[in-house]
Chain A
Amino acid sequence: MEGFTYVDIFATKGIEYILVISALVLFYPLWRLVNTPGGAVYELARSAATTIGDWFHMPEEKIYYHLGHTWAMPEGGEVVKVGIDDFAQKLVGKIDAIKFPEVGSDMVQGERAWSLVIGDKVIDMLSPVDGKVVAVNREISTSPEKINIDPYGAAWLVKVQVPRLSANLRNLLSGKLVRKWMDGVRESLMARMNYNLGQVLQDGGVLVEGIAKNLDREKWDEIVREYFLIT
């Protein structure tokens, strides 16, 4: 048929098809690029993501944790040992002194029990149990750095006589629940790290400085109080 031509309608169609297909094809690498941070930061973040799981030593047996990062360990009878967990000590770093409760005084689960003195800041912590203080660990007051070395052993803080022990322990976390809880804690910590990751991962930096100071030099104590549930 003379004079009949597709050209006008379809002149640009070929290129349009190629454009659409290339847009779809290009979208894949774009999506990858957008969703994976590049270069050094990515490597750091990835290594952090794998190691951060092992960052905090939180035994799941025999120890019961309070959400404010204190723990209780039954000693037999009504007496329990109480202390601060590994996350808490890594968060605050070097502790200068501890303000203990008096022997014979009462502690109430979920209420302020003792305070950590770090530099010029005093940070309260919550008691994991109800009861009467029967002993405090005087060794820790002379060398508080032991908390950073052995938070669940030599660095217990107080012994408490707990009349309603089983009821108290039911309010605390143990076993598999500990891991689930710490997964959340780790995630919230990861979300905060952002660009300070490098500093945090420096060798030894974590232990001396504490994670919180690496997150925010000015308001680190507010971060700590938030994790310790002190508001």
Chain B
Amino acid sequence: MYFKGINSYGDRGLVLDFGNETSKSISQEVNEAFLNISNLNLQSLNIVPSFNKIVVIFENSKIRDQNKDKISMEMRDTNSQTNKKVTKTWEIPACYNEDFALDIKIIQKLHQITKEEVINLHSSVRYYTYYIGFMPGFPYLGDVPSQLITPRLATPRVKIPARSIGIAKNHTCIYPKVSPGGWNIIGQIPFDIFDLQSSYPSLFLPGDEVKFYSVSLSEFEKIRKYNFSLNELIKEYSS
């Protein structure tokens, strides 16, 4: 139990505080609380989880104050009831071909390991989705094995290709679309993970588990051509 309490954020926001540390177990509690609070059907505008906070945003202070007790009660009760698992486990194809692995040499050099070792290490771990942020559908995944922990690029790249896999510090990510950014790029996945046509547009949700598996360039291109919809991707690659 990491939950510390609820604080005001201006006249129309609340911050649920889970301390100042970050770990998978803290995030698990945060994401469980996020689902429970979402299910309360509050009159909130947005509920935003991150590593150790949940920010809840209301239209005005009156509605905020009316809803605060419901959240307090829910947070008190969360202890006793364990939430049934609603998150997904993903197996995501990743192509670490040199055309995509723009910064893999930086990681090799820093840790004195081969390209194959980087690939094996990166695809050996079941990552936890801490939260979605930075840009629409961008998952913060972690933690990467200690031999892959690498600082952000000193000079961020102006244009990272869509669907690129990156590493920064102890996290790994997927860029949903072309973007500037400072993560070390080591590969690419063959499908889009954010689709505005879908009513639930993000493939990944906070709390999902994600494991990558290495595919060849020809396999990558084959999957790319399928042009899966989000629903098809869920059927194909998650359980």
Whether chains A and B associate is: no
Chain A residues within CB distance 8 Å of chain B: none
